[in-house]
């Protein structure tokens, strides 16, 4: 049976060009800083994001964790959204491993945190308080529908951070999707941030890894933390080689994923029993729910779709997330729409 996997863009397998680059990659011991392919990937990512340096890490989770631990001391506070991936889905790593306290503010439907709410959350100097050190944003914002945050908004948050001597981290797991959707460069979106994590193994299709970028001094510190986390890898140039192909050849084509997400949303909007989230899709994610006429739970629908070879994610008792990516073509989109129609 043909499998159409819309659960996430993390399910993407490497492209043939990536597999060739991996097989031919020149490698060395990266803990000695001697893997030429990793060094090239780190320089390329830093260049694309307008930062001094980059660090290849195993995952987006490790990139965010290393960044937050590099910026914060134990007991410091990070301000982030209540729907932030770092808050919801990174196993509490910042508090478990870094002793970093989190202050969650409500994410607005457009993925932002209200500027006034951030200002009000910044702690005054007082022995009773944790020290506010960092603000963390996410772009695109996954749980807010894959919506892109603008350059202007990111600059406003940076201005506020500067006013209070705070730092700004950007979880840019899908920053290139945001750049494509907004028609701006990833560099412009990353410019206000002191650090940014971008993922290679989501829409960009590489099998493994993310790159954390920032100043030279910040990356030196993050590199030590990566070592503490057990993330100092050796001949990982075989992985970085796919990452280079991802950054060099896979960014522009994200527009195709966005177009397919629109085609998917359009088709699903005419299936009785489904309600699309307002504004969906913003990029490569379609969020939708079952209406009250459907006597099934999201989990039951997921099971029945899976029997037809269509995999989707349930993200609530009645809600789904479908994500388009390189391995989803127009036919797969149409088949998925048809499968929903059959199941409902
Ligand atoms: N997100 C995954 C799941 O964990 C939910 C997905 O399928 O979308 N930041 C953001 C915004 C993310 O969406 C993710 C992964 C990460 C960080 C973590 O990346 P990895 O999985 O590489 O640790």
309 lies in which domain range? Answer: 253-343
Beta carbons within 8 Å of 237's beta carbon, 6+ residues apart? 25, 26, 27, 28, 30, 35, 36, 37, 38
Q: How much distance in Å is there from the Cα of 207 to the middle of ligand 1?
A: 14
Do 285 and 146 belong together in one domain?
no
State the CATH number of the domain containing residue 187.
Answer: 3.40.640.10
pLDDT at position 73: 97
Beta bridge partner(s), residue 141: 147
Q: How much distance in Å is there from the Cα of 10 to the middle of ligand 1?
A: 8
Distance of CA 243 to the CA centre of its chain: 15
Q: What are 87-113's pLDDT values in tens digits?
A: 999 999 999 999 999 999 999 999 999
Do 222 and 259 belong together in one domain?
no
Atom of ligand 1 nearest to the CA of 199: 22
> Is the shortest distance between the CB of 35 and ligand 1 below 6 Å?
no
Q: How much distance in Å is there from the Cα of 15 to the middle of ligand 1?
A: 20
State mean pLDDT over 283-302: 98
State mean pLDDT over 296-306: 98
Minimal CA–CA distance to 194: which of 97, 67, 99? 67
Minimal CA–CA distance to 45: which of 222, 254, 247, 252? 247
Q: How much distance in Å is there from the Cα of 232 to the middle of ligand 1?
A: 21
State mean pLDDT over 113-132: 97
Report how far residue 290's alpha carbon sits from residue 262's, in angstroms, rounded to the nearest whole number: 19
> Is the shortest distance between the CB of 5 and ligand 1 below 6 Å?
no
Minimal CA–CA distance to 203: which of 41, 53, 60? 60
> Is the shortest distance between the CB of 324 and ligand 1 below 6 Å?
no
The answer to whether residues 14 and 205 touch, using CB atoms and an 8 Å cutoff, is yes
Do 36 and 182 belong together in one domain?
yes
Specify the number of domains making up the chain.
Answer: 2
Atom of ligand 1 nearest to the CA of 59: 22
Do 236 and 257 belong together in one domain?
no
Do 225 and 269 belong together in one domain?
no
Minimal CA–CA distance to 102: which of 71, 148, 126? 71
Do 260 and 158 belong together in one domain?
no
Helix (H, G, I), strand (E, B) or coil at 197: strand
Tell me if 262 is assigned to some domain: yes
pLDDT at position 189: 98
**Which ranges in the chain belong to alpha helices (H)?**
16-24, 36-49, 60-71, 85-88, 93-98, 115-121, 151-163, 175-182, 186-190, 216-228, 237-249, 254-268, 298-307, 330-343
Atom of ligand 1 nearest to the CA of 7: 7
Minimal CA–CA distance to 5: which of 322, 344, 340? 322
Do 245 and 286 belong together in one domain?
no
- 288 phi and psi, to 5 degrees? -155, 165
Q: What are 156-183's pLDDT values in tens digits?
A: 999 999 999 999 999 999 999 999 999 9
Report how far residue 303's alpha carbon sits from residue 127's, in angstroms, rounded to the nearest whole number: 53
Helix (H, G, I), strand (E, B) or coil at 108: coil
Tell me if 164 is assigned to some domain: yes
The answer to whether residues 29 and 195 touch, using CB atoms and an 8 Å cutoff, is no
Do 285 and 218 belong together in one domain?
no
Tell me if 320 is assigned to some domain: yes
Beta carbons within 8 Å of 10's beta carbon, 6+ residues apart? 201, 202
Q: How much distance in Å is there from the Cα of 264 to the middle of ligand 1?
A: 22
Q: What are 34-45's pLDDT values in tens digits?
A: 999 999 999 999
Q: CA 134 → CA 69, 219, 315, distances in Å? A: 10, 16, 29
Beta bridge partner(s), residue 75: none
Tell me if 259 is assigned to some domain: yes
Q: Ligand 1 atom 7: the closest Cα is on which residue?
A: 8
Ligand 1 site-directed mutation target among 12, 60, 90, most atoms within 8 Å of CB: 60
Q: Ligand 1 atom 15: the closest Cα is on which residue?
A: 60
Place of tokens 């020149």: 26
Mean pLDDT of the chain: 98
State mean pLDDT over 142-166: 98
Tell me if 2 is assigned to some domain: no
pLDDT at position 81: 98
pTM above 0.95?
A: yes
The answer to whether residues 172 and 145 touch, using CB atoms and an 8 Å cutoff, is no
More confident residue, 216 or 1: 216
Atom of ligand 1 nearest to the CA of 201: 22
Helix and strand counts by DSSP (H, E) for the chain: 14, 13
Do 139 and 262 belong together in one domain?
no
State the CATH number of the domain containing residue 321.
Answer: 3.90.1150.10
Instruction: Decide which of 197, 229, 249 is a domain's last residue.
Output: 249
Do 258 and 295 belong together in one domain?
yes
Atom of ligand 1 nearest to the CA of 84: 11
Do 179 and 316 belong together in one domain?
no
State mean pLDDT over 52-78: 98
Report how far residue 178's alpha carbon sits from residue 335's, in angstroms, rounded to the nearest whole number: 27
Tell me if 6 is assigned to some domain: no
Do 271 and 227 belong together in one domain?
no
Q: Ligand 1 atom 1: the closest Cα is on which residue?
A: 85
């Amino acid at each position: 049976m043909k499998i159409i996997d819309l659960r996430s863009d993390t399910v993407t397998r490497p492209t043939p060009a990536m597999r060739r680059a991996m097989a031919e990659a020149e490698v060395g011991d990266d803990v000695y800083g001697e893997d030429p392919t990793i060094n090239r990937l780190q320089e390329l990512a830093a260049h694309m994001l307008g930062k001094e340096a980059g660090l290849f890490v195993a995952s987006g989770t490790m990139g965010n964790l290393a960044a937050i631990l590099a910026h914060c001391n134990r007991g410091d506070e990070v301000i982030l959204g209540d729907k932030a991936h770092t808050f919801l889905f990174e196993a509490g790593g910042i508090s478990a491993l870094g002793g970093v306290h989190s202050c969650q503010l409500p994410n607005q439907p457009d993925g932002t945190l209200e500027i006034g709410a951030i200002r009000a959350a910044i702690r005054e100097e007082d022995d009773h308080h944790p020290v506010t050190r960092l603000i963390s944003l996410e772009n695109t914002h996954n749980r807010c529908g894959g919506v892109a945050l603008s350059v202007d908004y990111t600059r406003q948050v940076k201005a506020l951070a500067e006013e209070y001597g705070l730092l700004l981290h950007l979880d840019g797991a899908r920053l290139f999707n945001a750049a494509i959707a907004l028609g701006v460069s990833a560099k412009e979106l990353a410019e206000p941030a002191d650090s940014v994590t971008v993922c290679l193994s989501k829409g960009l299709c590489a099998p493994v890894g993310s790159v954390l970028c920032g100043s030279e001094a910040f990356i030196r510190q993050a590199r030590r933390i990566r070592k503490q986390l057990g993330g100092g890898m050796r001949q990982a140039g075989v992985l970085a080689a796919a990452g280079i192909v991802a950054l060099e050849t896979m960014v522009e084509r994200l527009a195709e994923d966005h177009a397919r997400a629109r085609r998917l949303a359009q088709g699903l909007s005419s299936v009785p029993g489904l309600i699309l989230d307002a504004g969906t899709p913003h990029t490569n994610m379609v969020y939708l729910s079952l209406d009250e006429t459907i006597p099934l739970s999201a989990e039951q629908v997921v099971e029945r779709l899976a029997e037809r070879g269509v995999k989707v994610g349930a993200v609530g008792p009645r809600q789904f997330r479908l994500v388009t990516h390189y391995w989803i073509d127009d036919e797969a989109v149409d088949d998925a729409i048809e499968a929903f129609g059959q199941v409902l």
